[in-house]
Amino acid sequence: MSAASATQPVESQSHEIRLNAVLQLALINILWGASSVASKTALMAFGPFTLTFVRFLPAGLILLLLARLRRRLPPIAPEDRRLFLALGGVGITATYGIFYFGLQRTTATDASLLFACEPILIALFGYLFLQERLNWLQWMGFLVGVTGIWLIAGRALGDWLALAGLACECCVSVPAKRLATRYPGLLVVAYEMLIGAVLILPLALWEWHHHPHMVSPRPLAALAFLSLVCSVFCYGIWYRLLSRHAISQMGVFILLQPLLGPLYGHFLRGETLHANTLLGALLVFSGIALTISRQRLPKGTCN
């Protein structure tokens, strides 16, 4: 396949999510809901930069192999190389380096609830860069949601760092969407993880040298869950569906993560919800309900 043909859309985008896709999106977000608890456990043995590297390097290699087995890998067009670099550098290196650094300083429950802001941010980036329309009610949702985020994060530095990491992840939703419509989804996410792992390697080596790690079976099991389940399985499905559906449609399913995350935190780590955190979560979900609302459009217009 030539570079020119590689830039053609891999699959046409659908405005209707069928039951099969709904079930897949629900499943991966249920699994992703446990990622903060697993990450918190893995951070007992690994630093944030080291955990990012050891999670995404093997996952990226596995996904690249799977992409190669499915079809011949297309060459990357020169104009897309910067997008891939940004995808790996921001989507993996910055996102998880910052998020894990913050997670060390907060609870898995708070971090899980902060995932609720992602649909709001994804919808905003979709409006700014992908011409996905928002109405005045949705803009009100941003204000309500931001108020809730403030209540959840409070003055905890770890919460704000975790939120900054999530914001980085949302920033790459636009280049990810564009690349997923030009190349196979498995290839896009494989390159994203491999590029991110390579970029964070110097920091991981520095961290390992200055802060020796004591690895035990429990953090290793958490690492395996993060790499094989959350990264290979869940990201693989997400990127495959990303070429077919609007970002704002898929982003709604992220709501399952903050709904289930506190339950995972309670039953697996004994964490509890504070009053401000609970109120903030309610405001965030209210903001999301407004953000994902849609005005009825006249026939013949695109939603």
**Whole-angstrom distance, CA of residue 188 vs CA of residue 289:** 31
**Whole-angstrom distance, CA of residue 226 vs CA of residue 51:** 10
Q: Is residue 3 part of a domain?
A: no
Lowest mean pLDDT among 123-127, 165-169, 290-294: 290-294
Q: Is residue 249 part of a domain?
A: yes
Does residue 85 have a pLDDT over 50?
Answer: yes
Shortest CA distance to 33 belongs to which of 225, 220, 218, 173?
225
Shortest CA distance to 162 belongs to which of 154, 280, 296?
154
**Owning domain of residue 253:** 19-291
Lowest mean pLDDT among 42-46, 110-114, 238-242, 288-292: 288-292
Does residue 234 have a pLDDT over 80?
Answer: yes
Q: Is residue 191 part of a domain?
A: yes
Long-range contacts of 218-222 (CB under 8 A, 24+ apart): 218/41, 218/44, 219/41, 219/42, 219/43, 219/44, 219/45, 219/46, 220/45, 222/38, 222/39, 222/41, 222/42
Shortest CA distance to 150 belongs to which of 302, 16, 284, 10?
284
Q: Is residue 297 part of a domain?
A: no
Question: Per-residue b/e over 230-253, b at no fewer than 16 CB within 10 Å?
Answer: bbbbbbbbbbbbbbbbbbbbbbbb
Cβ-based neighbours of 226, under 8 Å, separated by 6 or more: 35, 38, 39, 42, 51, 55
Q: Is residue 145 part of a domain?
A: yes
Given a contact cutoff of 8 angstroms between Cβ atoms, the answer to whether 264 and 128 are in contact is no
Distances in whole angstroms, Cα of residue 174 to Cα of each of 97, 122, 181: 20, 9, 11
Q: Say how many domains are in the chain.
A: 1
Residues in the chain: 303
Q: Which residue has the higher pLDDT, 196 or 72?
A: 196
Tens-place pLDDT, residues 15-32: 566 788 888 998 999 999
Given a contact cutoff of 8 angstroms between Cβ atoms, the answer to whether 184 and 7 are in contact is no
Q: Is residue 66 part of a domain?
A: yes
The two counts, helices (H) then strands (E), for the chain are 17, 0
Tens-place pLDDT, residues 235-293: 999 888 877 777 667 767 777 787 788 788 878 888 776 777 777 777 777 776 776 55
**Backbone torsions φ then ψ of 180, nearest 5 degrees:** -70, -20
- Dump the DSSP string for 158-205: HHHHHHHHHHHHHHTHHHHHHHHTTS-HHHHHHHHHHHHHHHHHHHHH
110 φψ region: left (φ > 0), alpha (ψ -120 to 50), beta (else):
alpha
Per the prediction, the chain carries an average pLDDT of 80
**Whole-angstrom distance, CA of residue 125 vs CA of residue 141:** 15
The amino acid present at 270, given as its one-letter code, is: G
Does residue 184 have a pLDDT over 60?
Answer: yes
pLDDT, average across residues 144-153 = 69
75 φψ region: left (φ > 0), alpha (ψ -120 to 50), beta (else):
beta
Supply the pLDDT for residue 295: 39
Q: Which residue has the higher pLDDT, 292 or 195?
A: 195
Supply the pLDDT for residue 15: 53
Q: Which residue has the higher pLDDT, 193 or 158?
A: 193
Supply the pLDDT for residue 16: 63
Q: Is residue 2 part of a domain?
A: no
Supply the pLDDT for residue 106: 86
User: Which H or E run includes 227?
Assistant: none
